[in-house]
Each structure stands twice: as structure tokens, then as C-alpha cells.
């Protein structure tokens, strides 16, 4: 479900509601997520306040005085804040209850998400330590991307979706960014010119920013922490439009599999291969 914009939308929605709140209870209904949820999680976090909610890539980091919760929504996860008790739904796996009565509930049908606790610097955690730069920060630059792509014989789409290259660019926004930059998804990364890197970095930043502003993309069931959908779907140019005409030149958009992911592009607009 969530790419970086969706995770950021969740982070922004969550923050005002639970920042500064004390964790009064932890409920684990299903511990079999991507990694097992520690049954003794409450020993570590009960009574602690949420000092900050930040994001690294698609990982949400809940900073406590002692330690950090690392929360990933996987492909189908969602976090909702409830102001009053509601019957738990199917796949409501974990919840935190706060001093003010608010409930933070994690639902994840596919269980690709995870919830981990660490007392060390979370950025040095093995899941986070090898991540590339944040796309919206300055260190994700044309120069960086150009350097990083030298001698990389991988399809460009695979390259920009690799979290070691840059975090947060998932299947939707990779397709959209490549279309916006008029770059062929199958082009070898090493063939990128510096000018192409400049354009690509620019469009990735612009598209992610715009999607965040729109509240993310709701394809099917993405909702933010208030349960509201995102509105970026109306803006999608290629994702999910295989076989339909390109909005720019009317050519039929091509859809094929690339590294097991559906990949859509315009064979006319995205020429350089």
C-alpha cells in the first residue's frame, strides 16, 4: 500500500494526536508479522511517552525516552487513531493505548509490516543502516545519482527503486517519475548522463512532494490515520494505465514485468533506452 508519501501522510496525521502521550497499554493480537513482535514489548515501552515521530524511508520511528519503535507498514498495513474503543477488525494485529484514551491500531492483512523495538540508535539498526539518502533532502542530488549509477548495469526503474540508491521510491512513483523525466524504465542506469540525473532527481522530488500534499495515493484501500483516502490517484499518468493512450501523445502505453513488478511506460515519450 504505502510508498513514501503515504507513510509521510500517516506520520503527519499521527503526530498531533499522540505526540507527548504516555503509552498505557500494549496489545499484541498477532505477533507473526514480517518479524515476530516481541511478546515482552510492554516491558520496554510501557509508561514511556512518544517524544517524536519521524520517518526514515518508509520506516516510521517512534522516539521514546529510552529506545525507539521501528514501524513499517509493509504492502498492506495501516495505522489508525481511534478516540474511542471499537471492536477490533480482522487483521488488527497490534495496538497501543495512551494515557488520554487514544488508541493506535495497526491493521495489516498481508503481514509484511513489522514492529521492532531498539534501545540503540535506530539509524544504526540493521534494517536502516544501509539505506540511501532521503529523496526530499539535499543529499539526494544529481551529482550523487550520477556517481551512484556509474557501472550499474541494472534497469533504471530497478535502480531507483533500490533503497540503497534512494529510499521511498516504490512501484507507483518510479513509473510516474520516469514518465515525467521521459526516461525509459529499461535503460541501463550506467547510461544516465548528468543532465538526465538532474532532471530525474528534480521530478522525483516534485512528484513525491505533490503526492504528500494530495494526501498520498489511494489505489484501493490506503487511508491516513483519520481513515481518509488520498487523492493523488487522479494525477497518475502511467501507473495502472497499461494499454490505454498516453495523455501526452496518445500512443498506447506498454505494460510489462520488470523484476516481478508491473512496469508501465510510453514507448514514444520514453525513448532513450
Partner DNA sequence: ATGCGGACCTGTTAGC
Partner DNA sequence: TGCTAACAGGTCCGCA
Alpha carbon separation from 246 to 171, 206, 252 (Å, rounded): 18, 20, 6
Rounded Cα distance, 98 and 20, in Å:
10
Place of cell 515476530: 36
Instruction: Mark the segment that binds DNA (CB under 7 A) among 71-79, 116-124, 137-145, 246-254.
Output: 71-79
Residue 119 is classified by DSSP as S
Residue 39 known to be catalytic: no
Rounded Cα distance, 22 and 24, in Å:
6
Q: Which among 55, 58, 148, 233 is annotated as catalytic?
A: 58
When the beta carbons of 23 and 169 are compared against DNA, the nearer one is 169
When the beta carbons of 102 and 134 are compared against DNA, the nearer one is 134
Binding residues with DNA: total (CB under 7 A): 44
Asked if 66 interacts with DNA (CB under 7 A), we say no
Smallest CA-to-CA distance from 135 within 272, 273, 3 is with: 3
Q: Is-contact 4 73, C-beta < 8 A?
A: no
Asked if 260 interacts with DNA (CB under 7 A), we say yes
Q: Which among 34, 191, 209, 261 is annotated as catalytic?
A: 261
Residue 95 known to be catalytic: no
Asked if 205 interacts with DNA (CB under 7 A), we say no
Alpha carbon separation from 254 to 16, 246, 251 (Å, rounded): 43, 10, 9
Binding residue for DNA (CB under 7 A) from 111, 191, 205, 228? 111
Positions in the binding site for DNA (CB under 7 A): 1-3, 6, 32, 34, 57-59, 72, 74-76, 90-91, 109-112, 126-127, 130, 151-155, 158, 163, 170-172, 216-222, 257, 259-262
Please give the positions annotated as active site.
2-3, 58, 261
Amino acid at each position: 500500500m504505502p510508498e513514501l508519501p503515504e507513510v509521510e501522510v500517516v506520520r503527519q496525521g499521527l503526530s498531533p494526536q499522540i505526540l507527548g502521550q504516555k503509552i498505557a497499554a500494549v496489545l499484541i493480537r498477532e505477533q507473526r508479522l514480517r518479524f515476530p513482535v516481541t511478546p515482552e514489548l510492554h516491558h520496554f515501552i510501557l509508561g514511556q511517552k512518544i517524544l517524536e515521530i519521524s520517518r526514515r524511508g518508509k520506516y516510521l520511528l517512534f522516539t521514546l525516552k529510552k529506545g525507539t519503535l521501528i514501524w513499517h507498514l509493509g504492502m498492506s498495513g495501516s495505522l489508525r487513531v481511534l478516540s474511542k474503543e471499537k471492536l477490533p477488525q480482522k487483521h488488527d494485529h497490534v495496538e497501543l493505548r495512551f494515557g488520554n484514551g487514544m488508541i493506535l491500531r495497526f491493521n495489516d492483512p498481508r503481514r509484511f509490516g513489522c514492529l521492532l523495538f531498539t534501545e540503540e540508535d535506530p539509524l544504526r539498526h540493521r534494517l536502516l543502516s544501509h539505506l540511501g539518502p532521503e529523496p526530499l533532502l539535499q543529499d539526494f542530488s544529481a551529482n550523487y545519482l550520477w556517481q551512484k549509477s556509474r557501472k550499474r548495469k541494472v534497469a533504471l526503474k530497478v535502480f531507483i527503486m533500490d533503497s540503497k540508491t534512494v529510499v521511498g521510491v516504490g512501484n507507483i512513483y518510479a513509473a510516474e517519475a520516469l514518465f515525467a523525466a521521459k526516461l525509459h524504465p529499461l535503460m541501463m542506469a550506467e547510461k544516465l548522463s548528468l543532465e538526465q540525473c538532474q532532471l530525474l532527481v528534480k521530478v522525483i522530488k516534485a512528484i513525491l512532494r505533490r503526492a504528500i500534499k494530495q494526501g498520498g495515493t489511494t489505489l484501493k484501500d490506503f487511508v491516513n490515520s483519520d481513515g481518509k483516502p488520498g487523492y493523488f490517484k487522479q494525477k497518475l499518468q502511467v501507473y495502472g494505465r497499461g494499454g490505454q493512450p498516453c495523455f501526452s501523445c496518445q500512443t498506447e502505453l506498454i505494460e510489462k514485468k520488470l523484476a516481478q513488478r508491473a512496469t508501465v511506460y510510453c514507448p514514444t515519450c520514453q525513448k532513450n533506452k
